[in-house]
Amino acid sequence: MNESFLSKNLASLPSSVSDTIQTENSMLEGTHYKRVLSKTGEDTLVIDGVWIHSQFDPKKEALRFVSELPHDGTERIYLLFGAGIGYIIPYLLERPKVTILWMEPFPFLIREALLKFDFSEAFLSEKLVLITGEHLEDQLTEAVKGKGTHPISFVPHRGSWQWKESEYHKLKLIAEQMFHKKDVNLATLTRFEKIWAKNICYNLPELSNFRPVSDLFGIASGINIVIACAGPSLSESIPDLQKYRKQFLLLAVDTAVPILTSFGVDPDLIYSVDPQALNSQYLEDYQGKGILIFDPTSTYLSLRLDKGPNKGFVTSSPFPLLQLLEKTSTGEIGSVPFGGSVSTNAASLGTLMGAEKVYLVGQDLSFTKGLAHSKGAVLEERLNYLESRKFRREKHNYKQLFALPQKQVLGIQNETYITNEKMLIFKKWFEDHTKENPWINLTKFGAKLEGMEHSVFEKEFVRDGKIQEKQIESVTQVKNLIQSKLKENNSFFDRTQLTKDIQTTINSLIEFGILVKQGFHVSRRIYQQIQKNQINPKTFSEDIKQMDGIDELVSEKKGLNEILSLGIQRVILTITEGYDDHLSLEEKENLQLGVAKKSLLLYEGLYESVRSTKRMLTKSLYRLESNL
């Protein structure tokens, strides 16, 4: 073992990782290990009687294992779940175009490996990345950034797994969870990029009459809030919601509204975040007193219904297009943590409102009793008009169940339910955030949320006595206070200023569009010359010089680029994340041609985004001017 190797290795690692290795006591109580020599004289470890490497020839064992791993000379990631004291790593480092991600839960094993091998150059070049300590999923996410299309090989270390299989299996589950989440996020981003941009633009006139969601922060101190989600078990919780209705503030996700109102249960607040037009149908014909909590990316059709909630509170959004509205405000709009579904937003809002306790109901996160939706949901009711001899609602439900690969999940009563990867992401989000939030699960059936208390209405709410009267009085006061916020005379947003800012932005887009169109034509000429291998040195040099000038001018328009970026996320991912489904095999193999194609895609995407954003803002400007 070489102490100088250890020093060099530690110096080449990020300080957080280095500190973990040097300070964390990772030995499990009762664990015994010793360093021994193999038959060939190489170091190895025996931990609790388990040989971590071959007791005969660790190098030969590692080489044989590496030879079985796939490698075709293209970019690839090897994700190691343990590596013992690292015999496999030098052989992997010999391969070109590979990145090695080394996950290890036990720092003492890392220390032994760093005493044995000098990995400092590999650490510094990031060809080898060590992942250990806390926030493993975040570390892994950062490590694969920019490598979105590289094939990944999972590589479990046999000796480590023989010693502590449960700990290394956890690493594998973390990795699977992260990659599933990344896939879902990329798919969502690229699927909805244009819809989000359209909704924000078209929502601006109506949202300028809304109040900020920050008005609600802290308003519910001392009372309880129930979040009604639209899981299959919601209909079975209706009797409890009716029985104790006056003792809590009811915040419903928009998908649950038709189910609740069909049983005479009217929510106080209705949360809407889904960008798809279908979601407006959950709110059409709604005639209750529920007040809307509206995400700017939610479908603009919901704000244009003849019947339905048309007043409420708007939340902030990370998308730069919303800056047009935010700049005209008299304060902070307020942001609500986003976990990927409307129910995660609603639960977060309950906490921000200062509720004493936040209860979840209908949060199945599984296909409870073989159902994809709660009975009475809009999707189910629409099937009344679609059913035929060859298409029955049972067939639709079956298709929903198998739209994504099925997974099994442990239920609240320790039964087993069917779920899918998307719902497991939401389940993980709730479990990760339940420690710092006063959430209690009242859902009757469905997936068990680890770390979150499960209870029943009868235990949480009372029917008689002064306690009930006090709860009802407090809830009524909060409801009245929320209503008073909506009646404030002073408008939170300056509609006149918003009109001027939109007109200014349109004018800027017209001017910017000329420059972007020029960049598109020049980048296309450069690409065609490379593709046809017909490069004229003089004209090519002039085009490159002109392209550099255009790039510089475009990059100076930071505000416009941020606004336009929402509509070209797929192109941005192509350039930054290697999400290169736009590139042909020829473009991937020819580096110069690939770079030219990415430039062409960027300007093509920018030009299309300029045209569409200008068109949408012009329509919103007309609506604003018509109502000033």
Hey, which residues does 102 pair with through a beta bridge? 80, 130
Indicate the pLDDT class of residue 183, thresholds 50, 70 and 90: low
What single DSSP character describes residue 212?
E
Are 346 and 251 in contact by the 8 Å Cβ rule? The answer is yes
The distance from CA 111 to its chain's CA centroid, rounded to whole angstroms, is 34
What would the two tokens of residue 356 be? 């004493």
- 21-48: b or e for each residue (b if 16 or more CB lie within 10 Å)? beeeebeeeeeebeeeebeeebbbbbbe
Q: Rounded distance, CA 254 to CA 272, Å?
A: 5
Sheet holding 357-361, edge to edge: 211-212, 312-314, 291-294, 269-272, 249-253, 224-228, 357-361, 439-441, 453-454
Give per-residue pLDDT as tens, 413-424. Answer: 889 999 987 888
335 against 1, higher pLDDT: 335
For the chain, the C-alpha Rg in angstroms (whole number) is 29
In 273-342 the beta strands, taken as DSSP E runs, fall at: 291-294, 312-314
Domain regions of the chain by residue span: 3-163, 209-486, 495-626
Indicate the pLDDT class of residue 291, thresholds 50, 70 and 90: very high
Nearest Cα residue to 204 out of 489, 560, 501: 501
Sheet holding 152-156, edge to edge: 128-131, 98-103, 76-81, 152-156
State the amino acid at position 223 in one-letter form: I
Instruction: Write down the pLDDT at residue 379.
Output: 45
- 241-274: b or e for each residue (b if 16 or more CB lie within 10 Å)? beebbebbbbbbbbbbbbbbbeeebbbbbbbbbb
| CATH, domain range 3-163 | 3.40.50
604 pLDDT higher than 50:
yes
Give per-residue pLDDT as tens, 452-472. Answer: 999 999 999 976 677 788 889
Give per-residue pLDDT as tens, 316-327. Answer: 988 888 999 999
The β-bridge relationship of strands 312-314 and 291-294 is: parallel
Give per-residue pLDDT as tens, 498-542. Answer: 999 999 999 999 999 999 999 999 999 999 999 888 888 888 999
In 39-86 the beta strands, taken as DSSP E runs, fall at: 43-47, 50-51, 76-81
Indicate the pLDDT class of residue 253, thresholds 50, 70 and 90: very high
Give per-residue pLDDT as tens, 9-62. Answer: 999 998 888 888 877 555 555 567 788 888 999 988 999 889 999 999 999 999
Average pLDDT of every residue of the chain: 86
Looking at 97-106, 121-130, 533-542, which range is the least confident one? 533-542
Instruction: Write down the pLDDT at residue 33.
Output: 77
Instruction: Write down the pLDDT at residue 313.
Output: 96
Give per-residue pLDDT as tens, 91-101. Answer: 999 999 899 99
Tokens 């480590």 belong to residue: 160
Q: Rounded distance, CA 180 to CA 485, Å?
A: 41
Tell me the mean pLDDT in the region 475-489: 91
Neighbours of 348 (CB within 10 A): 21
State the amino acid at position 347 in one-letter form: A
Are 180 and 424 in contact by the 8 Å Cβ rule? The answer is yes
